[in-house]
């Protein structure tokens, strides 16, 4: 799990790093929401050729408008169908956002064929760039926000340069849209860049909230919600790679007594100390979560036998350490009991493994505590 980071590098890493399960799930929900909004807006676009016809525009304008509106609706339904599918397509947000930006540019180009000033000074159509950039925030992906903002800036800048240069000395102008100035175009490009920064800020806040909601406040470790969300992926990876994985459920012994003798603040410090101690035994791709008051879950990438050896060594080492002292400063013994469950022999999913590990943990408690059990008695 990514640690909360507030440095500049931390913000960049959070924004542009690989999204985790929860963010991908939220992003897929956002993509579906955007696809629904797009489908609804595309239906409204069908009205535009009708308005043009009733306003006395020529047949060619009405037919071109109608063809574009039908195309937009067809595409909106294709994007909606893809967003609804169970299978997640990582490229989908990039494809749909590129389509939104390019459709906006296409409409501006069509406007420019009639009146260059209309393309450069139109407020309604240009704002679809802003809308497309703002909607990237719903996909919870900083890279997407920067890509879409950059695409809008590049496409609009190319259009503006072509139209301003193409009209020679005079600036494009029309009765309805006024004169298109260079300063006005630069302002528009700056506004697109600013909206991109705003979208990135929203994505970053969302990522921080998701990160904090999956973290235990006392130790900073992942919590039960995080474990239940991420463990299935770790099990699936182990199954695919044919690697062993063992779940360890660990509970501190007699903690009520520790709180009574040392006070709850010292109890909190002891829990933080144990969390740090457990973290030092983790190897790459292994995880530690705090799922209850004094209960921790370890996911270790090794068979149950090696996991037992590693945890039992820690248990013996801890007997020589004084992680907590009583109110008079005398060291208090602090030990733990643990139950282990191997994947897949003891269970094919997280709740089955937790059930087996808990049964063995209770067995260790009944047998006198301060022990690790990897088998049923």
Ligand X SMILES: Nc1nc2c(ncn2[C@@H]2O[C@H](COP(=O)(O)OP(=O)(O)OP(=O)(O)O)[C@@H](O)[C@H]2O)c(=O)[nH]1
Binding site for ligand X (CB under 6 A): 218, 251-256, 259, 264, 267-268, 271, 293-294, 365, 369
Q: Give the total residue count for the chain.
A: 377
List the structure tokens of 358: 């808990």
Q: Tell me whether residue 148 or residue 334 sits nearer to ligand X (CB atom).
A: 334
The distance of closest approach from Cβ of residue 259 to ligand X in the complex, given in angstroms and rounded to an integer, is: 5
Minimum distance, C-beta of residue 220 to ligand X, in the bound complex (Å): 13
d(Cα 347, Cα 28) in Å, to the nearest integer? 30
Nearer to ligand X, 146 or 311 (CB): 311
* Least distance from ligand X to the Cβ atom of residue 276, Å: 15
Nearer to ligand X, 158 or 218 (CB): 218
Smallest gap, in angstroms, from Cβ of residue 35 to ligand X?
Answer: 44
Residue nearest to ligand X (CB): 293
| Residue nearer to ligand X on the CB measure, 90 or 293 | 293
Output 147 or 255, the one with its CB closest to ligand X.
255
Whole-number minimum distance, CB 333 to ligand X, in Å? 12
Closer Cβ to ligand X, 172 or 267, answer by number: 267
Q: How far is the CB of 251 from ligand X (least distance, A)?
A: 5
From the CB of 370, what's the least distance to ligand X, in Å?
A: 9
Q: Which is nearer to ligand X, 268 or 309 (CB)?
A: 268
């Amino acid at each position: 799990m990514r640690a909360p980071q507030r440095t500049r590098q931390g913000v960049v890493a959070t924004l542009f790093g690989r999204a985790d399960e929860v963010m991908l799930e939220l992003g897929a929900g956002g993509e579906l929401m955007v696809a629904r909004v797009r489908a609804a807006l595309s239906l409204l676009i069908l009205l535009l050729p009708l308005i043009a016809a009733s306003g006395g525009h020529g047949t060619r304008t009405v037919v071109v408008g109608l063809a574009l509106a039908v195309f937009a609706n067809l595409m909106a339904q294709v994007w909606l169908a893809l967003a609804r599918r169970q299978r997640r397509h990582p490229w989908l947000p990039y494809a749909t956002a590129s389509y939104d930006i390019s459709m906006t540019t296409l409409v501006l180009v069509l406007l420019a064929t009639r009146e260059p000033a209309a393309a450069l000074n139109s407020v309604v159509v240009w704002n679809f760039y802003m809308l497309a950039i703002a909607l990237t925030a719903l996909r919870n992906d900083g890279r997407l926000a920067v890509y879409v903002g950059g695409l809008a800036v590049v496409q609009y800048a190319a259009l503006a340069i072509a139209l301003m240069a193409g009209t020679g000395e005079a600036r494009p102008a029309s009765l309805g849209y006024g004169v298109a100035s260079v300063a006005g175009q630069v302002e528009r490009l700056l506004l697109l860049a600013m909206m991109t920064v705003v979208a990135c800020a929203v994505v970053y806040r969302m990522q921080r909230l998701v990160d904090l909601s999956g973290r235990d406040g006392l130790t900073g470790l992942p919590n039960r919600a995080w474990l239940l969300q991420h463990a299935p992926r770790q099990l699936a990876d182990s199954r695919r790679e044919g690697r062993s994985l063992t779940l360890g459920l660990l509970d501190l012994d007699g903690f009520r007594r520790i709180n009574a003798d040392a006070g709850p603040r010292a109890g909190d410090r002891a829990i933080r100390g144990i969390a740090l101690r457990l973290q030092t035994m983790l190897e790459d791709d292994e995880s530690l979560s705090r799922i209850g008051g004094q209960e921790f879950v370890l996911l270790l990438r090794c068979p149950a036998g090696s996991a037992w050896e590693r945890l039992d060594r820690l248990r013996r080492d801890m007997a020589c350490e004084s992680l907590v002292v009583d109110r008079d400063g005398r060291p208090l013994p602090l030990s733990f009991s643990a139950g282990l469950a191997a994947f897949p022999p003891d269970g094919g999913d997280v709740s089955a493994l937790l059930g087996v590990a808990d049964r063995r943990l209770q067995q260790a408690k009944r047998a006198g505590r301060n022990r690790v059990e990897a088998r049923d008695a």
